[in-house]
Each structure stands twice: as C-alpha cells, then as structure tokens.
A and B are shown apart, each in its own frame.
Chain A
Amino acid sequence: MIYNASSFIYLLKQQGINFFSGVPCSILTGIIRELIDDDSVTYVSSTREDEAVGIASGAYMAGKSPVVLMQNSGLGNSLNVLTSLSLIYKIPCLMLVSWRGYKGKDAPEHLIAGDISEKILRVAGIPFFVLEKENIENVIMSAMKLMKEKSIPVVILIKNGVLG
C-alpha cells in the first residue's frame, strides 16, 4: 500500500499515538498540515527540537503516547535532552526525523548532517529505522514495539518522497 501523510497518520493513530510535538521540515509539511487540522490529536508546534522532546516527555508522563517530528539537523539540538532525560529516565517517544542530505544530494548545509545522521544515533544509543515506500507498516510496528520494550526514544528516518 502506498501511504500519504493522511494514511500514515491514521496508521500511527491505530498504534495508539495521540500526541505530537515538533519543528517543521519541508519533507514533513504534509504530515504537519494534517496534524494541525486533526481535532482528534494534539499537535504542539515547538520552537526548538529539544523543546519538542521535552514537551513529548511531559505528555508521556501524563499518559499520552507521543511522537516528535523534526529535521535531522535538529538531532544535534536534541542530543542533550535525549542523553540526560529520555535515555536515563526511560521516557519513550517515537521520533519522525526527516533525512535531508541523504546520499549527498541536497543543499550544502544539509550534506554533513545528512552523512552523519545514522552515526549520531548509533553513538547516542538511539535505535532507528529507515522508512521506505515498501516497509512502512513493518517499520511503524517494529519501532513501536521496540520503543515500548526498551522505554526509550526510537527514530524513524524519513527520506524525501517516501510518503506520497
């Protein structure tokens, strides 16, 4: 099945996701537009990526099942909160991270971040999956399962064009 922003969000909601916070990225535009218009979930637009993780962490402790959205450039902004809050308190969230600079095809400011995104996550000990058109359901299920088992953030990297 080909997923677009709307059906992708539906899939997340089916998995119990009911709270979103994040900083926009052009790759995530469709998803964020849907979320803003969707009265059945909360979307808190954030000013920084680490703040989005903080807000999601509060929501989790208050009983929500949160998603954080950000561009991969925001992973650097989030390293402190991930290592000194999420990982040590074991506060999970599903992180949808757009992957600018994938395979070196992008504007100059995205190339280094694009090249090191997976390395940053490996070094920090944050599990991640790469979303492809043909593995969307599997990735969501596996990421949610791992997130619940380990009670830590799990990242799904989203390349441009994967969500139709």
Chain B
Amino acid sequence: MKRAEAIKTVLTVLSDELVVHANGLICRESFVINDRPQNFYMIGSMGLAASIGLGIAVSKPERKIVVFDGDGNVLMNMGTLAQIGTLCPENFYHFVFDNEVYGSTGNQPTLTNVIELEKVARASGYIKTYRAINSGELRVIAEECLKIKGPVFILVKVNTEYDKKIERVSHAPEEIKKRFMAVI
C-alpha cells in the first residue's frame, strides 16, 4: 500500500482527534488528503512528533491524541517509546508509516527491514501493538484501536511510492500552531 492510501484510510476513521504529524512527506500527503484544523504539521524537528504528542496527551487527558510518524523518525529518538510506555497515557495512538527508507532524501535504507518497531514499542510498555500491511486491515485496526485505552502502537507497512509533485503545506508555522491550539 502507498503511504498516502494508508494516511487516507486512518483519516477516514478519525473524527475530532488531534493528529501530530512528523515532518516531511507525511505532512504533505495528509495536508492534501484532508487539511483538518486538528492537524499539527511539523516542518522540521525530525524525531519529535511523538514527544509533542506526549506533551499534549498528558496535558489533555480527555482528548485522544494521534501521532502520524515515520520509521526514520521513531529510530531517531527511540527513547521516546520507553517514555510513552512508562507514562502510559490512555489517550495516545501512535501510527508509524514504515517504508523502510528515508523517503524525502533519496530512499536511503533505515533499519526497519530488520528491526520490527512494534516489538520495540511492546517491550517499551505500549498496552497494545498492531501491524497492518494492507488498507482493509488498517481500517479495521484503526477503528478498533481508537476504542481501547492506549498507549497503542500501529506499525503500518507502506511502499516508497508517492506523488513527486505533491504540494507543500501552505500554512505558515505560526498559523499551523494557532489553528491547532484553537481546537484543542
């Protein structure tokens, strides 16, 4: 499955959940599919989407926090998984779109063709972990996992295909923040 298809599948299941997006193509694809005010797009700070999500999750326990992450991002700050597992926020849903490469920079391999990140998450204390390899499966998992208490980790295997002409997020960073804060 293409990552854009995976993102679209998860977005279809969401209602007003807050979604923190890791930097790069994940932001751009989600922005094109459905530019919700509940979307926080990172344009830099690779590896920190889950930290930002965690800060929101512990501060707003009544809201569901979704993180759209990448395999390179998770590997960059893997200690964050241990921190999420230890703090164990019930409202934290971590989707990792794993294409096994650094896609924005020329498809250099990450490590996830060998390392199964959902196992790292499980060992780090996530309550439940999933692996989805097609969109039908992903839809069922997304619907199910949002009904249970987290933290939940969903490893979504995707391919490296994407629209080379995909537009960038057109909102300025401050605007992204203000819009997002207005709906928290």
Give the Cβ gap from A45 to chain B, nearest Cβ, in Å: 8
| A51 close to B79 (CB less than 8 A) | yes
| B55 close to A44 (CB less than 8 A) | yes
Stretch of A8-16, A52-60, A105-113, A134-142 at the chain-chain interface: A52-60
A19 to B40, CA, bound (A): 21
| B83 close to A90 (CB less than 8 A) | no
| B174 close to A62 (CB less than 8 A) | no
Within 8 Å CB of B57, what residues of A? 58
Main secondary structure of the interface of B (DSSP, over half): helix
- Asked, given contacts A89-B173, A91-B177, whether A61 binds B51 with beta carbons under 8 Å apart, the answer is no
Q: Give which listed residue, A19, A42, A54, A88, contacts B48 with CB less than 8 A.
A: A54
Within 8 Å CB of B134, what residues of A? none
Q: Give which listed residue, A58, A80, A81, A85, contacts B54 with CB less than 8 A.
A: A58
| B56 close to A61 (CB less than 8 A) | yes
| A47 close to B45 (CB less than 8 A) | no
Within 8 Å CB of A88, what residues of B? 43-44, 173-174
| A85 close to B59 (CB less than 8 A) | no
- Asked, given contacts A84-B43, A89-B176, whether A59 binds B83 with beta carbons under 8 Å apart, the answer is no
Q: Is B52 an interface residue (CB 8 A)?
A: yes
Within 8 Å CB of B54, what residues of A? 44, 54-55, 58
Q: Give which listed residue, A42, A60, A85, contacts B42 with CB less than 8 A.
A: A85
| A81 close to B45 (CB less than 8 A) | yes
Give the Cβ gap from A60 to chain B, nearest Cβ, in Å: 8
B30-88 contacts to A (CB < 8 Å): 40, 42-48, 51-60, 77, 79-80, 82-83, 87
B138-163 contacts to A (CB < 8 Å): none
Q: Give which listed residue, A57, A83, A90, contacts B55 with CB less than 8 A.
A: A57
Number of interface residues of B (CB under 8 A): 32
Q: Give which listed residue, B46, B52, B60, B87, contacts A44 with CB less than 8 A.
A: B87
Within 8 Å CB of B58, what residues of A? 42, 44, 55, 59
Give the Cβ gap from A5 to chain B, nearest Cβ, in Å: 23
| A61 close to B40 (CB less than 8 A) | yes
| B59 close to A54 (CB less than 8 A) | no
- Asked, given contacts A85-B45, A85-B48, whether A48 binds B55 with beta carbons under 8 Å apart, the answer is no
Q: Give which listed residue, B40, B42, B59, B77, contacts A59 with CB less than 8 A.
A: B59
Q: Is B184 an interface residue (CB 8 A)?
A: yes
- Asked, given contacts A48-B77, A51-B83, A54-B45, whether A64 binds B59 with beta carbons under 8 Å apart, the answer is yes
What is A's interface to B at a CB cutoff of 8 Å? Answer: 19, 21, 42, 44-48, 50-64, 66, 80-81, 83-85, 88-91
Closest 3 CB pairs of A and B: A58-B55, A84-B44, A54-B51
